[in-house]
Amino acid sequence: MPNGFYKFNPKTLSYEKVKLGFKHIAKRMIWVVISSIAFALLFVWIAFYVIDSPKEKLLEKENNELKAQVEDLNTRIDLMSDVLLDIEDRDDNVYRTILEADPVPTSERYPLLMERPGSDSLSRSEASERLKEANKKADKLMVRLAAQTKSLEELEKLADKKSEMLSCIPAIRPLKNMYTVTSGFGRRYHPVLKTLRSHTGVDIAAPKGTPIYATADGVVSSENPGGGYGICVVISHGYSYKTLYAHMSKKAVRAGQRVKRGQLIGYVGTSGMATGSHLHYEVIKGDQRVNPVYYFYSDITPEEYNAILESSKKVNQSLS
Ligand SMILES: [Zn+2]
């Protein structure tokens, strides 16, 4: 470093070399050091806050990608939620209605959910807020899915029970060809006793030997009403239903035997108190005799049903 500099002298009109003292040199050096530090700080500030390093650029890119992915996740969860809402709606208003089950309680599908542990430790940046939102939605969806699965399992059991129940309710005609109902249910003139009596079933006139079929699944009962019923089969169907077939010429089943709807159980005859060849058929629900005509719905057309209903209303004498 030069230890002096030149200074203009207006008197001599020339530059003269001036010798510098140590103090002056030290002052200059301190100034150089301070300005260098200031420049260095400025450079660091620019590097940190203005110009992104390649690593920062990469992080920013990654952050943007994550934001987009979280956004996409939210959209897909919303879509799944809509689909589930539709299933829940059909479950409550169609399936559960058909199977006579109450709708799933709202508290089961939408319980108050606890905050996810550790969710507060996430920073409050926009992306993490959206991620938290997606997590909450996913939790709710999981609960709703679990409630829906439970509901469908319940309905499956109910449907099984229902079909078993339906096969146990009398639903077909006991004779294949629906011969005329010669005497209906209710008060009728008794042909043998010659009095007005309550007729507890329907009489269907048919030739002797016509096959008689079980009108629902069940077990042949050991009970035998005897007396005027003659050769008689009683079937217990469960669900408090029983059917009775009287005045047979011959039985085709024995007590304790399990029978299916439509299975042959005997033949039409005149046994017991009967004036002509016919089947006396009863449907018993609990302790009550009910009109069997109301249970002929499974294998006839509406026109046939109306015709049977009309013929069974006729006030005439029963064949017993
Ligand atoms: Zn009768």
Q: What is the pLDDT of residue 115?
A: 67
pLDDT range class, residue 22, cuts 50, 70, 90: confident
Distance 296 CA to ligand 1 centre (A): 17
Distance 183 CA to ligand 1 centre (A): 7
Distance 319 CA to ligand 1 centre (A): 5
Beta bridge partners of 290: 283
Q: Are 76 and 95 in contact (CB under 8 A)?
A: no
Q: Are 174 and 247 in contact (CB under 8 A)?
A: no
Distance 252 CA to ligand 1 centre (A): 21
Distance linking the first and last C-alpha atoms of the chain: 143
The DSSP line for 27-83 is HHHHHHHHHHHHHHHHHHHIIIIISPPHHHHHHHHHHHHHHHHHHHHHHHHHHHHHH
| Angular region, 224: left φ>0, alpha ψ -120 to 50, beta rest | beta
Distance 181 CA to ligand 1 centre (A): 10
| pLDDT tens sequence across 134-159 | 888 898 898 999 998 888 888 888 88
Distance 280 CA to ligand 1 centre (A): 4
Lowest mean pLDDT across 33-37, 180-184, 272-276, 312-316: 312-316
Give the residue carrying structure tokens 């035998």: 224
Does 181-313 carry CATH code 2.70.70.10? yes
Q: What is the pLDDT of residue 1?
A: 46
Contacts of 128 (CB under 8 A, 6+ apart): 122
Q: Are 247 and 280 in contact (CB under 8 A)?
A: yes
Distance 80 CA to ligand 1 centre (A): 62
How far apart CA 264 and CA 172 sit, in angstroms, is 13
Report which of 256, 239, 52 is spatially closest to residue 162, judged by C-alpha positions: 239
Question: Using H for helix, E for strand and C for coil, what is the string for 155-172?
Answer: HHHHHHHHHHHHHHCCCC
Token pair for 157: 């059991």
Q: What is the pLDDT of residue 119?
A: 55
Give the residue carrying structure tokens 């609960």: 143
Distance 168 CA to ligand 1 centre (A): 23
**In the chain, where the domains are located:** 4-50, 73-168, 181-313
How far apart CA 223 and CA 243 sit, in angstroms, is 12
Which burial class, exposed, middle or buried, applies to 212 when counting CB atoms under 10 A from its CB (0-12, 13-18, 19+)?
buried
| pLDDT tens sequence across 208-227 | 999 999 999 999 999 888 77
Mean pLDDT of 258-278: 94
Beta bridge partners of 268: 248
